[in-house]
Amino acid sequence: MNTLVLEWVENDGGRTQTRTQTIDLTSVTKNRGTFRIGRDRNQCDLVTSNNTVSRLHIEILFSQPQQSFFLRNLAPNNSPMVDGQPVTQGEVPLRTGSIITLGQVTLNVTSVSSEEENSPTVVVAPSYPPQQRRGNSPQPRNSYPPVQQQPVSPQPVHQHQAQPPVHYHQPQPIPHQHQHVPAGSASGLECPRCHKVSDYSHLDIGCPWCGTSLAAAVSILVTPKRP
């Protein structure tokens, strides 16, 4: 199971309390496949009342090809920081010990685990043939006379006519069609109506093609093509 554990300190009625949150993206979240943090209870899975945190500030997602958790900024005017570095666009990997800063709120990544790390290593022991004992062990005596075997006449060998080789034609690969993603973006939001992808600057504006709200849009992580 792929999990990430967050730990932070909250002031509750003048008392300081340490809280933890385990992120498991196989469970139900506000936005399928991501875990969102901010002040808006309708859009966020982890809600804070601190006014320095944006209503929809960040989201955390897991990349299966890279087997790693990533942080994505959803507040262009209030960029979060990871390990003291601001995250303005794209995604930043999260590891055990990473420090996330949202305004005046600090979240510590105390644990990160993935399925590959939890997979047990199977060691197969080599098999050896049983050793034969050496020595002059007595052989059992046969009390019956040996049986004379009748000579076996050789069977005629039938030659089979060689079959002509069969040629297989490898099917041509069908090129995959990708949706257009705005230049310079490593990810985007898929419109729930027209299924076109736009960048995160349209989160509060809506889909530039059909005008549908992107609050419930699915976040898509786009791996840039290598040159």
**Is there a domain that residue 93 lies in?**
yes
Per-residue model confidence (pLDDT) at position 188: 78
**Is there a domain that residue 173 lies in?**
no
Query: Does residue 174 carry a pLDDT above 50?
Result: no
Question: Per this entry, what is the length of the chain?
Answer: 227
Which residue type is seen at 164?
P
Place of tokens 């897991």: 62
pLDDT, mean over the chain: 78
Of 84, 113, 142, which one is at a domain's C-terminal end? 113
195 shares a domain with 108 = no
Q: Per-residue confidence at 39, pLDDT binned at 50, 70, 90?
A: very high
Distance CA 59, CA 61 (A): 7
Per-residue model confidence (pLDDT) at position 177: 42
More confident of the two residues 2 and 129: 2
Query: Does residue 137 carry a pLDDT above 60?
Result: no
105 shares a domain with 191 = no
* Total domains present in the chain: 2
Of 113, 138, 163, which one is at a domain's C-terminal end? 113
Where does residue 197 rank: exposed (0-12), middle (13-18), buried (19+ CB within 10 A)? buried
**Is there a domain that residue 164 lies in?**
no
**Is there a domain that residue 90 lies in?**
yes
100 shares a domain with 18 = yes
**Is there a domain that residue 105 lies in?**
yes
Q: Per-residue confidence at 225, pLDDT binned at 50, 70, 90?
A: low
Pick left, alpha or beta for residue 115 (phi over 0 → left; psi -120 to 50 → alpha; otherwise beta): alpha
CATH number at residue 45: 2.60.200.20
Which two three-digit tokens encode residue 119? 């997979």
- Within 163-220, residue ranges assigned H as helices are none
Domain range for 195: 186-222
Pick left, alpha or beta for residue 128 (phi over 0 → left; psi -120 to 50 → alpha; otherwise beta): beta
Query: Does residue 178 carry a pLDDT above 50?
Result: no
103 shares a domain with 7 = yes
Is the torsion defined by CA of 97, 100, 106, 107 positive or negative? negative
Of 113, 143, 168, which one is at a domain's C-terminal end? 113
Does this model's pTM top 0.75? My answer is no
**Is there a domain that residue 17 lies in?**
yes
Place of tokens 């939890």: 118
7 shares a domain with 101 = yes
**Is there a domain that residue 138 lies in?**
no
Q: Which of 47, 49, 52, 66 is nearest to 2 (CA)?
A: 66
